[in-house]
Amino acid sequence: MYLVEFSTGILRENPVSASGSAKITPTGVDEAAVFNLQFASGCLANLACGFTYTARNNAIIYGSSGRIELDSCYKPVNIERYDADGRLAETFAGRMWMGSSTRSVILPGSSGTEGRKANLVPLEDSVACAEVFDILRKQWGLK
């Protein structure tokens, strides 16, 4: 759920399609999953999660003007912005909520604060994310 909200929070839109694969336990729990989201704007998200292995919780966001690397997609401490030539252009340090900060770097002209509170995910966003997981769980043969 958090990864979908991470993507939709930055892009400020819900995906138009979702597809993926999952490793399902004998008890029917999706212990690991990889999935892709496609958005009407043309943006794509490639996401992976699981709880039976140790993995990095980092995120890399690619755009036409470079990329942004976050040391954690949950509560980043370090965020680095690289230009289109791969040169480090800017560094942000200190625990922060990344949605509005990152969105303003990715989407030109967006201050990232219009109508959003940095520490709150609106109910309609949570419902949209749950709908994405309904689609994925159906693909994975789960109820």
Q: Model confidence over 3-59: pLDDT tens digits? A: 888 888 888 899 999 999 999 999 888 899 999 999 999 999 999 988 888 778 899
Taking 3-state DSSP, the helix, strand and coil percentages for the chain, each rounded to the nearest 5, stand at 25, 35, 40
Task: Inform me whether the pLDDT recorded for 116 exceeds 70.
Answer: no
In tens, the pLDDT along 61-115 reads 999 999 999 998 877 888 999 999 999 999 988 765 544 444 444 444 444 444 4
User: Could you give the CA distance from residue 3 to residue 123 in angstroms, rounded to a whole number?
Assistant: 16
CA nearest 4: which of 25, 50, 35? Answer: 35
Residue-range domain boundaries for the chain:
2-139
pLDDT for the residue 100: 46
Sign for the pseudo-dihedral over CA of 35, 93, 56, 123: negative
pLDDT for the residue 124: 82
In the structure, what pLDDT confidence band is assigned to residue 135 with cuts at 50, 70 and 90? very high
pTM: 0.76
pLDDT for the residue 21: 93
Return the CATH class of domain 2-139: alpha beta
